[in-house]
Amino acid sequence: MPEARMAWNGAAFDGLAQVRELPVQGMISLRGDLASAPVQNAATEVTGAAMPGPRGVEGAGDSAIAWMSPDELLILLPHGTVQDALARMDAVLAGEHALALDMSDARAVFEVEGPAAREVLAKLCPVDLDPAVFGPGEMRRTRAAQIAVAFWQSGPHAFRLICFRSVAGYLFDLLKGAAHPAARVGVFDPSA
C-alpha cells in the first residue's frame, strides 16, 4: 500500500477563521437497514460512539458515527485502524444484508475554526447556521458553492467539513475566500 497522503498537503489559511486541512482520516461507509441490531452494533463497537439518530453525529475527534441517509452511516476512525475495524465489522455483519467499505481515501477533511466559522460556512452553504438552529450533534450534508460537502460542529467555534478529495483544492479556495479578513459580515457575531 502506498503511503496515505493528504489531498491538499495540509493547506492552511488564517483569516476570519482558521481554515486547515486535517490529516488523513479513516472512513468506513456502512450501508444497510439502520434499524437492525447487527448494523448498529457494527458501527458502535468499532467507534465506541453511540448510534446517532437521523441527521445526527455521535462521538468526538476522529472516532465518530455520522448519519448520512436513511440507509447509510459514515464511520470515522483513526486512519491506521480501518482494516482492523472492517474485519471486526464483517464478523458482526455476517449474514446481514449490509455493506461496509473503506472509503478513507475518497475524501478530504477540513476544519474551520474561530468565532466567525459559522459565517464562513453560511456564505457557502444553503443552510441555516443560526446557533439556535444548527448546533453540536448535527450532521449536515449539503453543498458548498458547486460541490457536495458534509459538515458537523466539532468544537465551540469549530466545524469539520468533508468533500471528495478530487475537489479538495476547490473547497480550500472557497473557504479561503469566505474567510478573507476583508469579507466580514458579522451576522452571527453582532459585537464584531
Partner 1 sequence: MLILDCPCCGRAADETELEGGGEAHLTRFGPGASDDDFERYLFLRGNPKGVHFERWRHAYGCGKWFLAARCTTTLEVFGTYAAQTTAPPPEIVAAIKARRPNWEAPV
Q: Which is nearer to partner 1, 20 or 107 (CB)?
A: 107
Interface of this chain with partner 1, residues 61 to 120, rule: CB under 8 A = 68-70
Identified binder of partner 1 from the candidate list 54, 156, 181, 190, rule CB under 8 A = 54
Q: Which stretch binds partner 1 (CB under 8 A): 4-12, 23-31, 138-146, 171-179?
A: 138-146
The answer to whether residues 30 and 192 touch, using CB atoms and an 8 Å cutoff, is no
Identified binder of partner 1 from the candidate list 31, 88, 141, 176, rule CB under 8 A = 141
Q: How far apart are CA 12 and CA 15, in angstroms?
A: 10
Q: Rg for the chain (alpha carbons), in Å? A: 17
Q: Which stretch binds partner 1 (CB under 8 A): 11-19, 137-145, 163-171, 180-188?
A: 137-145
Q: Which stretch binds partner 1 (CB under 8 A): 23-31, 34-42, 139-147, 156-164?
A: 139-147
Q: Which is nearer to partner 1, 22 or 147 (CB)?
A: 147
In DSSP terms, 29 is beta-bridged to 74, 101
Q: How far apart are CA 119 and CA 110, in angstroms?
A: 16
| DSSP three-state, residue 74 | strand
* Residue 143 in contact with partner 1, rule: CB under 8 A: yes
Identified binder of partner 1 from the candidate list 48, 130, 136, 142, rule CB under 8 A = 142
Q: Which is nearer to partner 1, 42 or 68 (CB)?
A: 68
Q: DSSP class of residue 149? A: E
* Residue 35 in contact with partner 1, rule: CB under 8 A: no
- Helices assigned H by DSSP within the chain: 37-47, 82-92, 117-124, 168-178
Q: How far apart are CA 41 and CA 104, in angstroms?
A: 21
Q: How far apart are CA 118 and CA 160, in angstroms?
A: 11
Catalog residues that contact partner 1 under the rule CB under 8 A: 54-55, 68-70, 126, 128, 140-143, 148
